[in-house]
Amino acid sequence: MKVYETKDLRNVGVVGHGDSGKTTLTAGLLYTAGATNRLLRVDEGNTVTDFDEEEIQRKITISTAVAPAEWNKTKVNLLDTPGYNIFINDARAALTAADSALVVVDGVAGVEVQTEKVWGFAVDFKLPRAVVINKLDRERADFERALASVQETFGRAAVPIQIPIGKERDFTGVVDVIRMKSYTYSSDGDGKGKEGDIPAGLAEAAKQAHEALVEMVAEGNDALMEEFFDQGTLPVEHIVDGLNQAVRELRLFPVLCASALHNIGADQILNFIVEDLPGPTERAGVAAVVDGKEVTRPVSPAGPCSLFVFKTAADPFAGRITYFKVVTGVLKNDANLSNLNRGSAERLAHLSIPMGKTLQPVTELNAGDIGAVAKLKDTLTGDSLADKGFNVLYSPVKLPEPSIAFAIEAKSRNDEDRMGNAVHRILEEDQSLRFYRDPQTREFLLAGAGQQHVEIVVSRLKRRYGVDVTLKAPKIPYRETIRGTADVQGRHKKQTGGHGQFGDCWIRMEPLPRGAKFVFENEIFGGSIPKNYIPAVEKGIVETAEKGFLAGYPMVDFKVTVYDGSYHDVDSSELAFKLAARKAFKAAMLEARPALLEPIMNVEIQAPVEYAGDLMGDLNGRRGRISGMETRGTTQFLRAQVPMAEMLNYQNDLTAMTQGRASFTMEFDHYDFVPQLQADKIIAAAKAAGAGQEEEED
């Protein structure tokens, strides 16, 4: 594979809402550039960038794939990213390796929820971006309506540099309103337009679009503004130069037209990427930490070699595949680099360029290029590697915590033995997953961005590693506490011939604020209980509290003070005082008004504005409290505090309520009292389960 200089590279993230046509557009660009020998289709399951079995089966992009194409002697690395809400964070991680973004918008639906989210990612990374209004060949597609949606959401800086020729089925080409030329495309889908004059029926629209573009280009540039006032227009070369500058300064976001399915407009998009989007060295650089200070490292082919890892894939045959971007220097095959995050050395043998799932060998990679290497020992996503002595840590992307967890259970003993290792292999490639054991319920929990996310992991476990597991809703980690106080005696006396057992303690029990857990105080004066038995009293209280009183859940947020008691010189022991403390605890619970606590979650929902009323009503029905609302563009952000017990099936319900156009995140906030009606049901269920267990044991 050819080695490209840094100036001849473009790294472009292809982002947008699910089903806007990103993968099909990527396939068209690859074919037009000659990287593939035919136009590949998502519905045929053979595209370069959707190669995972789950992606082929579900016909959606689940994780980012990289594919390069050469156009006008420039290498364009296309990063095809997911657009569905539960996989959208993979797009965020991928954009750390991009130098610009193509935001794909559905020509029928216009800007959708995830379009706004990926635009926000690009804003966070200060990426220059352009908009491609796709699917203009579809029934009910309307360029003007889609453009109005884009400008309403992202502002008037989204300015068309093309307008479509024809509408819906009659969409056959585009007018370049910079150079005032038309490009029409044949039905063979080669993506290469035939240049011609603007159709007479579009002459006025093209003129208006040209004038609007000239004004927008001149607006942010004093020299161009002066020329515009003097001449009333700008020459093409000045429009191009001004547009390039405005794109890099994030002042303008050009809008292009396409039909990815019929490969209309592909060559013009490639021309735009090469001529108008910045290369790696034309941006400020990459966020990093050097000697404890936050800095921005510019991409440069000079100096020591350094790179950062933006993606990891687990291949059952090739092992771990590491995807990276070279930031400084030149990376050569068989290079020995230091992993600065883990303090280990790595040898990068068999350096490759990723073409979807295929790895094409290469001898070296210049700064700014994207590569892959298999079988690194310790390196994972977010790590920085560099020549020895070059200590620059590139900042990893921060992903939100998972919003939903499921209990995961192996189907057989054999599956159980292999489950942990297989899950950890999958966790290496998907950092938005969590796998842990709940210390209270003792269940293994797999947490992800949504039910489908977790189900795909289960499917991969079986397909890749032959591990069969079942999913079920996790047990709610309730807690118990007290609302009142108690002052009781715990006395344990047993005579069995010879030495007996004797322990006697008086305790006060009182509630503590939420989150205070447990406090034990010793107020014994005068030796009514010897000092060496006091720890036994505390241990007896702690052990009994762990088993709960009402429904078997651990007791929290209470204070116990031992203030009196008595002992026997011969019969007292640590065990006797521990048993006395247990009796005192149980006696105190009868007086101290025990109550159940439940976990309350902070929930944030993003949804189209029109669903806000339904969502608020639904949250109220789940015993939720709305804590905030905010509207950004056409998206409503709802924040609420909702009991965890009411959120177990929320993913499916939210999808049904909003036709899959909403997403949510959820994290634990605090514990609060369970209403008495629900508490009675939980206690009854716990007692019934306890009785059932006792019968089994008998």
pLDDT per position as a tens digit, 171-201:
999 999 999 999 999 988 888 999 999 999 9
Helices 612-621 & 650-658 angle (0-180, nearest 10): 150
Residue 190 CA to chain centroid, in angstroms? 36
pLDDT surpassing 80 at residue 634: no
Query: With bands split at pLDDT 50, 70 and 90, how would you rate the model's confidence at 650?
Result: confident
CB 185 within 8 A of CB 197: no
**pLDDT, average across residues 589-593:** 95
* CA 370 distance to own-chain centroid: 22
Q: Which DSSP symbol is given to 350?
A: S
Computed on alpha carbons and rounded to an integer, the radius of gyration of the chain in Å comes to: 32
pLDDT at 668: 80
Q: What distance separates the 2 farthest-apart alpha carbons in the chain? A: 116
The residues with which 132 forms a beta bridge, in sequence order, are 104, 256
Nearest to 14, CA basis, from 126, 138, 97, 135:
97
For residue range 99-155, what is the model confidence (pLDDT) as tens digits? Answer: 999 999 999 989 887 898 899 999 999 999 999 999 999 999 999 999 999 999 999
Place of tokens 């269940």: 443
Q: Which range has the worst mean pLDDT, 50-64, 439-453, 684-698?
A: 684-698
Q: Which of 228-232, 354-358, 655-659 has the lowest mean pLDDT?
A: 228-232
Position 508 confidence tier, pLDDT thresholds 50, 70, 90: very high
For 283-321, write each residue's pLDDT tens digit: 888 888 887 788 888 999 999 999 999 999 987 777 789
- How far apart, in whole angstroms, are the C-alpha atoms of residue 581 and residue 505? 7
Express the helix, strand and coil content of the chain in percent, nearest 5 each. 35, 35, 35
What pLDDT was estimated at residue 304?
A: 94
pLDDT at 697: 43
Among residues 54, 61, 57, the alpha carbon closest in space to that of 24 is found at: 61
So what's the pLDDT on residue 525? 84
- In the predicted model, is pLDDT for residue 696 greater than 70? no
Stretch 527-548: mean pLDDT, rounded? 93
**pTM for the model:** 0.78
Residues 668 and 675: their CA atoms lie apart, in Å, by 19
pLDDT at 690 over 70: no
* Residues above pLDDT 70, as percent of the chain: 98
Task: Categorize the per-residue pLDDT at 426 as very low, low, confident or very high, splitting at 50, 70 and 90.
Answer: confident
Asked whether residue 208 carries a pLDDT value surpassing 90, the answer given is yes
Q: Work out the average pLDDT over 62-87.
A: 92
Domains and CATH numbers, the chain: 9-209+251-282 (3.40.50.300), 286-394 (2.40.30.10), 404-472 (3.30.70.870), 480-592 (3.30.230.10), 598-677 (3.30.70.240)
Burial class (CB in 10 A: 0-12, 13-18, 19+), 323: buried
Q: Residue 381's pLDDT is what?
A: 92
Tell me the average pLDDT across 387-401: 87
Provide the 3-class DSSP secondary structure of residue 50: coil
pLDDT confidence of 498, banded at 50, 70, 90?
Answer: low
Q: Which long-range contacts does 370-373 make (Cβ < 8 Å, 24+ apart)? A: 370/11, 370/66, 370/68, 370/77, 370/79, 370/97, 370/323, 370/324, 370/325, 370/326, 371/323, 371/324, 371/326, 371/331, 372/66, 372/321, 372/322, 372/323, 372/324, 373/321, 373/322, 373/324, 373/348, 373/349
